[in-house]
Amino acid sequence: MFLPRSLLSKLYLHLQSTRHPLSPPVLVLVALEPDALCACRILTRLFKHDYIPHKIQPVAGYADLERAGRELVGPMTESRGGPGGVVVCLGVGGMADIGTLFGLESEDEEENAVAGVNHNSFGGVEVWVVDAHRPWNLGNVFAGFPLEQETEVATTLVARTPAGITGGRIERAYRPGKGGIVVFDDGDIEDELEKEKEAYLALVDMPDVEDDGEDLGDSEDDDDDDDESDIQEPPVAKPRAGQKRKSWDFLDEDSEEEDDRPKQKRRSNSSTPIPESPQRPAQRGLISLRDDAVFSSDGLEPPSAAQPLRAPSARTLRRKLLRLRRKHEAVLRDYYRLGASYSEPVSSMMYSLASELGREDNDLLWMAIVGVTSMELYGRSSAGVAVPVRGSETRAPTGWMGMRGARIRQLLRDEVRRLNPPEVGNGRVLPENSGIIPTTARSPEDTSIRLSPEPKFLLIRHWSLYDSMLHSPYLFSRLKTWSETGLKRLHKLLAKMGVSLVQCKQSYAHMDMMLKRELRTKLLKYASLYNLDELVPTIDTDGKDRGGAKDGWGFVRSWGWRATLSAQDVGVVIGALLEVGKNTTASSSDPNGPSTQSQDFAAAAASVEPMSEEWLPRFWEAYDALEDIEALKAGLPTAQFLHKAIFTTGTTILKKKQISHLRAFRMCVVKDAPDSTLFHHPGALTKLALWIGEALAEQEREAAGGRLAQGGRGTPLVVASLDEKRGVYVVVGTGGGGGPDTAFGDREAAKRRTKEKEEKTKQKEEAKRVKEKLKEEKREARRRLREENGGGPDEEDEEEEEDDTESEDDSDDDSDADDDDHEADATRDRGYGLNRFGTAFQDVVGETNARVRIDSFEHCVVEVKKEDLGGFLESLSMKVVVG
Mind listing the pLDDT tens digit for each residue in 166-206? 989 999 999 998 899 999 999 999 989 999 999 999 998 88
Q: What is the mean pLDDT of the chain?
A: 78
Average pLDDT over residues 463-478: 92
> What integer pLDDT is reported at residue 584 of this predicted model?
40
Average pLDDT over residues 507-534: 87
> What integer pLDDT is reported at residue 425 of this predicted model?
47
Helix (H, G, I), strand (E, B) or coil at 753: helix
Q: Which of 106-110, 139-143, 474-478, 575-579 shows the lowest per-residue confidence on average (mean pLDDT)?
A: 106-110
- Phi-psi label, residue 389: left if phi above 0, alpha if psi -120 to 50, beta otherwise: beta
Q: What one-character-per-residue DSSP string does 98-153 give? A: HHHHTT-S-S-HHHHHHHT--GGGGGGEEEEEE--EES--HHHHH--SPPPPP-SS
Q: How many residues are given for the chain?
A: 883
**β-pairing, 861-865 with 852-853?**
antiparallel
3-state helix vs strand vs coil in the chain, percent to 5: 50, 10, 40
> What integer pLDDT is reported at residue 650 of this predicted model?
93
Cα-flanking dihedrals φ and ψ of residue 450, to 5°? -125, 160
Average pLDDT over residues 31-37: 95
User: Is the confidence at residue 2, as pLDDT, over 80?
Assistant: yes
- What pLDDT digit, counting tens, does each position of 268-315 carry? 444 333 334 333 333 333 333 333 333 333 444 444 444 455 677 888
User: pLDDT grade, residue 399 (50/70/90)?
Assistant: low
Task: Please state, in angstroms and rounded to a whole number, the distance separating the CA atoms of residues 660 and 234.
Answer: 55
User: Is the confidence at residue 216, as pLDDT, over 50?
Assistant: yes
User: Is the confidence at residue 89, as pLDDT, over 90?
Assistant: yes
User: Across the chain, how many H-helices and E-strands are there?
Assistant: 28, 25
> What integer pLDDT is reported at residue 778 of this predicted model?
82
Please report, rounded to a whole number, the percentage of residues in the chain having pLDDT higher than 70: 72
> What integer pLDDT is reported at residue 607 of this predicted model?
37
Name the pTM for this structure: 0.81
> What integer pLDDT is reported at residue 743 of this predicted model?
45
User: pLDDT grade, residue 220 (50/70/90)?
Assistant: low
User: pLDDT grade, residue 391 (50/70/90)?
Assistant: low
User: Is the confidence at residue 221, as pLDDT, over 90?
Assistant: no
Task: Please state, in angstroms and rounded to a whole number, the distance separating the CA atoms of residues 37 and 699.
Answer: 36
- What pLDDT digit, counting tens, does each position of 767-794 carry? 888 888 888 888 888 888 877 776 555 5
Architecture of domain 658-740+835-876: Roll (3.10)
Task: Please state, in angstroms and rounded to a whole number, the distance separating the CA atoms of residues 391 and 399.
Answer: 9
Q: Which of 93-102, 450-459, 813-822, 857-866 shows the lowest per-residue confidence on average (mean pLDDT)?
A: 813-822
> What integer pLDDT is reported at residue 123 of this predicted model?
86
**β-pairing, 449-452 with 384-385?**
unpaired
Task: Please state, in angstroms and rounded to a whole number, the distance separating the CA atoms of residues 523 and 530.
Answer: 10
In one-letter notation, the amino acid at residue 190 is: E
User: pLDDT grade, residue 648 (50/70/90)?
Assistant: very high
Q: What one-character-per-residue DSSP string does 506-537 give? A: SBGGGS-HHHHHHHHHHHHHHGGGGT-TTSS-
- What pLDDT digit, counting tens, does each position of 485-508 carry? 999 999 999 999 888 888 889 898
Rg over alpha carbons for the chain, rounded to the nearest Å, is 31
- What pLDDT digit, counting tens, does each position of 653-709 carry? 999 999 999 888 999 999 887 888 899 999 999 999 999 998 998 888 777 765 554
DSSP 678: G
- Phi-psi label, residue 688: left if phi above 0, alpha if psi -120 to 50, beta otherwise: alpha
Contact assessment for residue 700 and residue 708, using Cβ atoms and an 8 Å cutoff: yes
| Residue predicted with more confidence, 195 or 430 | 195
Pick from 52, 40, 62: nearest CA to 857? 62
Task: Please state, in angstroms and rounded to a whole number, the distance separating the CA atoms of residues 459 and 633.
Answer: 12
Contact assessment for residue 3 and residue 183, using Cβ atoms and an 8 Å cutoff: yes
> What integer pLDDT is reported at residue 605 of this predicted model?
37
User: Is the confidence at residue 641, as pLDDT, over 90?
Assistant: yes
Please report, rounded to a whole number, the percentage of residues in the chain having pLDDT higher than 90: 42
Contact assessment for residue 137 and residue 97, using Cβ atoms and an 8 Å cutoff: yes
User: pLDDT grade, residue 752 (50/70/90)?
Assistant: low
Contact assessment for residue 103 and residue 80, using Cβ atoms and an 8 Å cutoff: no
Q: Which of 430-439, 639-648, 804-813 shows the lowest per-residue confidence on average (mean pLDDT)?
A: 804-813
User: pLDDT grade, residue 155 (50/70/90)?
Assistant: confident
Pick from 821, 690, 698: nearest CA to 752? 821
